[in-house]
Amino acid sequence: MSGCSFPMSHRGVRSAAAFLTILAMVACHPGPKSTSTAMRGSIQVEGAGSSFVYPLMNRWISDFQADHQNVQINYQSIGSGGGIEQLKNGLIDFAASDAALDDQQLKTMPAVVQIPESAGPVCLTYNLPQLKAPLRLSSETLVAIYLGRIKNWQDGAIKKDNPGVALPKANIVTAHRSDGSGMTNIFSTYLAEVSPEWRKQVGRAISLSWPVGLGGKGNQGVSGIVEETPGAIGYIELAYATQNHLPVARIRNKAGNWIEPSAASTTAAIEAFSNELAKDVRTPIVDPPASAKEAYPIAGLTFVIIPKEAKNPAKARVVQDFVQYIIAQGQNVSEKLSYAKLPMALREGNEALLAQLKGQNNQAALIQK
């Protein structure tokens, strides 16, 4: 049956508030200007989409606006699906998505360019306060948990992944995103890659009909379910887990290593697919080959999606300059906020993609190598 929806708890609300407060402290910069405080005569650009990249996007906007006093960039963290839909309807100037548009989806969109802007891991957080060491999960165990086949934390498969660990006699409650989410796409892409059964029964997408579990909106909703429910497990972004001091599981990769989600282990996953990404930047980076011994297996690129033909040339120029900043200087702040810095080969490919935009100034001064 389909997973049901679960409202954000009062603890989830407090976590959300704490996250936003700490985010401002980590950024060490004022947030993007509100519409009411925009400078007279400024160019206002609208973006929306991925909540996965929001903390980093917020920092990028703040830094970019500090050097461009006549520019105001507003970004709505409404989920990848919402951003894609708004871009499709011409309501925004750019979208951010953790799920690249495939060929079929592109047929329903205006002509766009999809440019990788960053990458990060999808983390599994859990409510098992008895554990003294991080939970460890193999791909087989994780699939069985989200299919509803493993129902208790004392199941033999979990014990095998965590030898010598005292696991509680508690039922497992899975939490997932109820809104259209690129993180759902990354997570389900991984599950589909490692399990033919998952691929056939559930599939991969930004929104799914989940076999079991409770749905919450955004990282706050999922973490709220986990915090309020003993024995719960759910997937969230690393930046959110880090800022809220939430435990995250180690996942076994193809090399047989138990890998902690981090910026470095995500970069290792990107580098493992360098040849494939050179041919198509939409290539998933989940479940890297065994040669990538330190790669975290549940990671994904996040993309900025830009119309090739913009109605307003001035806004188009701002968007292009902003994206050029992101793929160049902006990469220097990624790891500070728990995101992966894109390898140089991918960044150089990004510049070629950006050059596809009509009216692109190939001598743009913002690109610095």
End-to-end CA distance of the chain: 51
**45, 319 Cβ separation under 8 angstroms:** yes
**Residue 290: inside a domain:** no
The tally of domains found in the chain comes to: 2
**DSSP label at residue 185:** H
- Percent pLDDT > 70 in the chain is 86
Look at residue 34 and tell me whether its pLDDT is greater than 90. no
Same domain membership, residue 258 and residue 147: yes
Within a 10 A sphere around the Cβ of 199, how many other Cβ atoms? 15
Look at residue 181 and tell me whether its pLDDT is greater than 50. yes
Same domain membership, residue 185 and residue 109: no
Look at residue 246 and tell me whether its pLDDT is greater than 70. yes
Same domain membership, residue 344 and residue 224: no
Helix (H) or strand (E) holding 122: strand 112-126
Alpha helices in the chain (DSSP H): 10-27, 54-67, 80-88, 103-106, 139-147, 156-161, 182-194, 196-201, 218-228, 238-243, 263-272, 274-279, 313-327, 344-354
Give residue-wise pLDDT tens across range 63-89: 999 999 999 999 999 989 999 999 999
Answer with the residue of higher pLDDT: 360 or 55. 55
Same domain membership, residue 159 and residue 113: no
Burial per residue of 272-308, b for 16 or more beta-carbon CB atoms within 10 angstroms, e otherwise: bbeeebeeebbbbbbbbeeebebbbbbbbbbbbbbbe
Rounded Cα gap, residues 367 and 195, in angstroms: 42
Look at residue 20 and tell me whether its pLDDT is greater than 70. no
Task: Output the average pLDDT for the chain.
Answer: 88
Same domain membership, residue 38 and residue 19: yes
Same domain membership, residue 166 and residue 68: no
User: What is the per-residue pLDDT for 362?
Assistant: 40
User: What is the per-residue pLDDT for 309?
Assistant: 87
Cα-based distances in Å from 249 to 59, 193, 233: 27, 19, 10
User: What is the per-residue pLDDT for 155?
Assistant: 98
User: What is the per-residue pLDDT for 174?
Assistant: 98
Look at residues 300, 295, 303 and name the one whose alpha carbon lies nearest to residue 269.
Answer: 295
User: What is the per-residue pLDDT for 42?
Assistant: 86
Look at residue 30 and tell me whether its pLDDT is greater than 60. no
User: What is the per-residue pLDDT for 164?
Assistant: 94
Confidence of residue 180 (pLDDT cuts 50, 70, 90): confident
301 strand-pairing partners? 119
Within a 10 A sphere around the Cβ of 1, how many other Cβ atoms? 8
Give residue-wise pLDDT tens across range 302-360: 999 999 988 899 999 999 999 999 999 999 999 999 999 999 999 999 999 998 885 44
Rounded Cα gap, residues 192 and 197, in angstroms: 8
User: What is the per-residue pLDDT for 267?
Assistant: 94
Same domain membership, residue 128 and residue 12: no
Rounded Cα gap, residues 207 and 98, in angstroms: 12
Answer with the residue of higher pLDDT: 24 or 247. 247
Rounded Cα gap, residues 82 and 49, in angstroms: 6
Domain residues for the domain of 112 are 8-117+300-354
Same domain membership, residue 330 and residue 223: no
Same domain membership, residue 187 and residue 100: no
Predicted structure pTM score? 0.83
Lowest mean pLDDT among 37-46, 235-244, 294-303, 350-359: 37-46
**Residue 293: inside a domain:** no
User: What is the per-residue pLDDT for 97?
Assistant: 95
User: What is the per-residue pLDDT for 226?
Assistant: 97
**352, 345 Cβ separation under 8 angstroms:** no
Instruction: Give the position of tokens 């989600």.
Output: 261
Look at residue 22 and tell me whether its pLDDT is greater than 90. no
Instruction: Show the tokens assigned to 108.
Output: 């329903």
